[in-house]
Amino acid sequence: MRHAHTVDQIRSAEAALMATLPDGALMARAAAGLAAALVDHLGGTYGRRVLLVVGSGDNGGDALYAGARLARRGAQVSAVMVSDHAHPEGLAALTAAGGRVVDVVPSDLDVVVDAIVGIGGRPGLSQAAHHALEAVAGVPVVAVDVPSGVDVDTGETPGPHVSADLTITFGTHKVAHLVEPAASACGAVHLVDLDLDLPAATVTALQPDDVRRLLPLPAADAHKYTRGVVGVRAGSAAYPGAALLCVSGAASGLVGMVRYVGPDETAARVSATHPEVVGDGRVQAWVVGPGTDFDAAAALQAALADGVPTVVDADALAHVTGPVASPLVLTPHAGELSKMIGVDRDEIEASPLRHVRAAAQQYDAVVLLKGRHTLVAAPDGQVRVTTTGVPWLATAGAGDVLAGLVGALLAAGLDPFDAASVGSWLHGAAATLASGGGPIVAGDVAAALPDVVRLLMT
């Protein structure tokens, strides 16, 4: 599991560790890790031209000490100060190693190191920092801990901020590394371990081992009913394809049986494409909403009448007005969530973590907010971030496949939070596998799901 801790949690853990170490030892660890990651990024040191953009505090100190290490190995290291309070010992170490402080930005740089503000900084950039970054536009940027200017604990970017190609962070991931829009500003993220003793995090991201552990596998004596039965209420005369795609996500092999309930003509098409799918009957979970059009309210009412866990997607979301007796997974995109909680779409996209948590509390349900980094929130505030997937996944019908997949995992026995987060991870991984770097359609994602599971289990 990838854990994203808050600034207060990190500060507390750092203070506890520093109490057991000699003065400066923790910064030395961070600087050594930063220098090593920069060497790897640059592909060497000798003759490389490095510019440090340095603010005040320990973040700047980390960069200055790292710069001294690079200078001793033959790099040409310059530093631009954007604060009157640069770390004095770090500055002395840099100049002693042959680095220099400059007022004019050198040309032909190989990399710019953003050490303007660290995790204690406020969102936004000072005028001096903004000018320094303008002077190096187009040069690859490596951020120290987080890109300067982002909100570390929320992932929001309310003002000007650095957009990095690589972020080298220390001790643990931060919320801004996982949650959009700040996550996009981080580029690739490299973690330097500092051996911090950290508490549990409320924002996490599943990794392959976690998904492997959570996947419901058939027992040696399993039969189709013990593996779970999922029902799908989807599609309409206007949108029969939504039913086919939702069923394809549900019928990916992770559940013992799929039942389909919908218009006769659509049911015939589902049966022709998926002959293993049967009609109405008892289920352990329902999926309702994709393509249901004007029948959405009735389909939702029928599904909820069974009292089993239910995935509510697409058209049916508009008919959920508050908490219900059945455990729910609600799967909106930002536009749908906007209507559900009465907040402008732009606000949701600027602050997705805050709003998905608010929705989970309002509806007393697990809410899966689809996006570049999908967020799955539980009513208690726990959030899992999906980091699998590719931009090609932004294609019509992909959400229908996801709804069916999450419903299958519910029917197979996962609780709503696990079903939503595992389903989202598998969905993204299947898109990556199917894409191979090129375009895909939603059906490709469903077809790749068995192969993703197979690869995961080997």
The percent of residues in the chain predicted with pLDDT above 70, rounded, is 100
Per-residue model confidence as pLDDT tens digits over 36-74:
999 999 999 999 999 999 998 889 999 999 999 999 999
pLDDT at 204: 98
Per-residue model confidence as pLDDT tens digits over 354-389:
999 999 999 999 999 999 999 999 999 999 999 999
- Reported in sequence order, the residue ranges of 281-361 that DSSP labels E, i.e. its strands, are 285-288, 310-312, 328-330
Per-residue model confidence as pLDDT tens digits over 153-171:
999 999 999 999 999 999 9
Tell me the two tokens of residue 314: 């697409």
Q: Does residue 19 contact residue 48 with C-beta atoms inside 8 Å?
A: no
Helix (H/G/I), strand (E/B), else coil: 174? strand
| DSSP 8-state code for residue 376 | E
Spatial separation of the C-alpha atoms in residues 168 and 193, rounded to whole Å: 11
pLDDT at 173 over 90: yes
Per-residue model confidence as pLDDT tens digits over 216-264:
999 999 999 999 999 999 999 999 999 999 999 999 999 999 999 999 9
The crossing angle, in degrees rounded to 10, of helices 352-363 and 334-341 is 50
pLDDT at 389: 97
Collect all residues with Cβ–Cβ distance below 8 Å to 366 and sequence separation of at least 6: 327, 328, 329, 330, 360, 376, 377, 378, 379, 416, 417, 420
Residue 84 — very low, low, confident or very high, per pLDDT cuts 50/70/90? Answer: confident
Cα–Cα distances in Å, from 83 out to 53, 121, 372?
A: 10, 13, 35
Residue 351 — very low, low, confident or very high, per pLDDT cuts 50/70/90? Answer: very high
pLDDT at 104: 87
Nearest to 237 by CA among 292, 155, 170, 178: 292
Q: Does residue 408 contact residue 232 with C-beta atoms inside 8 Å?
A: no
pLDDT at 440: 98
Burial label for 440, CB within 10 Å (0-12, 13-18, 19+), is: buried
Per-residue model confidence as pLDDT tens digits over 287-311:
999 999 999 999 999 999 999 999 9
pLDDT at 86: 87
**Backbone φ/ψ region at 22: left (φ over 0), alpha (ψ -120 to 50), beta:** beta
Helix (H/G/I), strand (E/B), else coil: 384? strand
151 vs 130, more confident:
151
Spatial separation of the C-alpha atoms in residues 307 and 299, rounded to whole Å: 14
pLDDT at 266: 96
pLDDT at 56: 86
Nearest to 373 by CA among 173, 155, 171, 202: 155
Tell me the two tokens of residue 185: 């500003």
pLDDT at 85: 84
Domains of the chain in start order, with CATH, are 2-204 (3.40.50.10260), 208-457 (3.40.1190.20)
In sequence order, the β-bridge partners of residue 218 are none
- Reported in sequence order, the residue ranges of 229-378 that DSSP labels E, i.e. its strands, are 229-233, 257-261, 285-288, 310-312, 328-330, 366-369, 375-377
**Backbone φ/ψ region at 145: left (φ over 0), alpha (ψ -120 to 50), beta:** left
Spatial separation of the C-alpha atoms in residues 274 and 235, rounded to whole Å: 15
- Reported in sequence order, the residue ranges of 210-253 that DSSP labels E, i.e. its strands, are 229-233
pLDDT at 239: 96
Nearest to 376 by CA among 360, 399, 400, 395: 360
Tell me the two tokens of residue 153: 């604990």
Spatial separation of the C-alpha atoms in residues 90 and 58, rounded to whole Å: 9
Spatial separation of the C-alpha atoms in residues 94 and 88, rounded to whole Å: 10
pLDDT at 120: 86
Per-residue model confidence as pLDDT tens digits over 181-222:
999 999 999 999 999 999 999 999 999 999 999 999 999 999
Per-residue model confidence as pLDDT tens digits over 410-442:
999 999 999 999 999 999 999 999 999 999 999
